[in-house]
């Protein structure tokens, strides 16, 4: 039985991805050792499902579609930057969500029950925080410089996009980085 590493996400669109890439380049000048996410892989994850059996994918995609049709399209703004868990010990560098934050959380919360019922999702311990992962910190060298660079970009704004669909994607890990494939697109009610 084949298993696919699967997640549910919102596409940001090319203009926002390009601004995120420029932000990554600015932050990289600080010298911190960060594995930056490739421009084409920048997205907003709603739920990470992990390994899903391919026989479960049709039911999964249908459940996502059934859920999304109950939500209206909305405007999403990408703004501010920060890191998890904190600037002293950064692990993940992220861009945040301004407008659309409540709608993204509502989508996440609506998707959880049907996916838990299907058995292809385990609820995470931490509270869901909408964000775009820009990079993962590889070592603690130069993290003070990274914290300073992040503080300088506190008012960064990546732009707005109209969210009209949610995507179910697979992620194949390769030595060059992950390769994402769209498995289905679930339209929001219009």
Catalytic site residues?
43, 131
Q: In what order do the strands lie in the sheet with 74-84?
A: 34-36, 131-137, 92-97, 74-84, 157-163
Residue 64: CB atoms within 10 A of its CB come to: 24
**130 φ/ψ angles, rounded to the nearest 5 degrees:** -60, 130
**Residue holding tokens 């596409």?**
11
Token pair 């590493």 in the structure block, residue: 5
DSSP of 19-60: HHHHHHHHHHTT---EEEPPGGG-EEEEEEEEEEEGGGHHHH
């Amino acid at each position: 039985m084949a298993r696919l590493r699967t997640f549910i996400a919102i596409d940001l669109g090319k203009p926002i991805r390009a601004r995120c890439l420029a932000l990554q380049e600015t932050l990289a000048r600080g010298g911190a050792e960060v594995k930056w996410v490739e421009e084409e892989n920048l997205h907003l994850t709603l739920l990470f499902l992990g390994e899903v059996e391919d026989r479960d994918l049709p039911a999964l995609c249908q459940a996502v579609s059934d859920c999304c049709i109950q939500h209206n399209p909305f405007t999403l703004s990408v703004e501010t930057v920060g890191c998890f868990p904190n600037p002293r010990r950064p692990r993940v560098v992220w861009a945040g969500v301004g407008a659309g934050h409540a709608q993204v959380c509502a989508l996440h919360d609506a998707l959880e029950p049907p996916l838990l019922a299907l058995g292809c999702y385990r609820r995470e311990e931490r509270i869901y925080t909408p964000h775009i992962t820009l990079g993962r910190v590889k070592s603690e060298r130069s993290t003070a410089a990274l914290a300073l660079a992040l503080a300088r970009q506190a008012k960064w704004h990546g732009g707005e996009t109209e969210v009209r669909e949610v995507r179910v994607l697979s992620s194949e890990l390769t030595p060059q980085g992950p390769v994402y494939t769209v498995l289905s697109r679930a339209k929001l009610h219009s």
